[in-house]
Amino acid sequence: MKGLSLKISNPNKQIEKPIEVKSHFSEAKKRKLAKASMDFESLLTQMMLKSMTKSTGGLFGKEGYGSDIYNTLFETEISKYMSRSESMGVASMIYKKITGEELDVSKFRAEEAGGNLQNALQGLRFNSTESSGKTVAPPVSALKRLSKIEPIIEKASKKYDVSKSVLKSIILAESAARHDAVSSANAKGLMQLMDPTAAELGVKNVFDPEENIEGGTKYLASLLDKYDGKLDLALAAYNAGPDSVKKYNGIPPYKETVNYVNRIKNYINYFEMNHE
């Protein structure tokens, strides 16, 4: 069988100009694809960070108070920043493969990433967009500790008619499920009760998981009743006090309180999605 001969009169004809790609995606769709591509690179970067710091127990080590939570937060925020800085180029490759166009990372950076690394590190939070649109899994170590007190949580949940997901989320946000946690403000135990509040609730040993959760759930139930079941206000009052909620007629504009409410709502989403 004879080979086929191909006659080309102008060998440069096929490469004189690139193939034109006419994308059928709308601008709104392309923004979503760009964000999805950068989120994928962010997730990949976060996995790499976890792998690289595994031997040291994460960026903050294993033993520091709240280190498991802060490890996750830093890994998430740093990986987001790296992906928005186009340091790996994975997002650009994915975007171009789908749309046929180059990804202008700078176009989306300010809108989606919040500007720069300093903002990202200062954020260290689940903002309102993240809390409503994303669900970040709590640290595995904290979930393991939480599982050990599951019967106590279920008992308090039934007694005071408060969702288990809400109680679990508060315990994670307050103490990372450490029964011996003590904050800089001297709040103590799993649900971080202050001594006067604990005494008022009849809690004699704040470091006893059952007593602490009993007291914390009782207090939360009273706040839910006070605010007609409005969880956001109850959570804000749990963190900043009822007087602050009354003063601002809603969630106080305190960065800590706003982040606290959003973090708990994020955890609630996680538990509800996993039917826990």
Q: Could you read off the pLDDT of 227-264 as tens digits, one per residue?
A: 999 999 999 999 999 999 999 999 999 999 999 999 99
Q: Which of 164, 189, 191, 192 is nearest to 268 (CA)?
A: 164
Catalytic residue among 174, 200, 211, 256: 174
Q: Which of 77, 60, 94 is nearest to 130 (CA)?
A: 77
85-101 b/e with 16+ CB inside 10 Å = b?
ebeeebbbebbeebbee
Rounded distance between C-alpha atoms, residue 136 and residue 243, angstroms: 31
Cβ contact 103:32 at 8 Å = no
Q: Could you read off the pLDDT of 177-193 as tens digits, one per residue?
A: 999 999 988 999 999 99
**pTM for the whole thing?**
0.55
Catalytic site residue 174? yes
Cβ contact 167:213 at 8 Å = yes
Q: Could you read off the pLDDT of 87-122 as tens digits, one per residue?
A: 567 777 877 778 778 776 655 554 444 433 333 333
Place of tokens 């300093």: 118
Q: Which domains does the chain have, with CATH numbers?
A: 27-124 (no CATH), 140-273 (1.10.530.10)
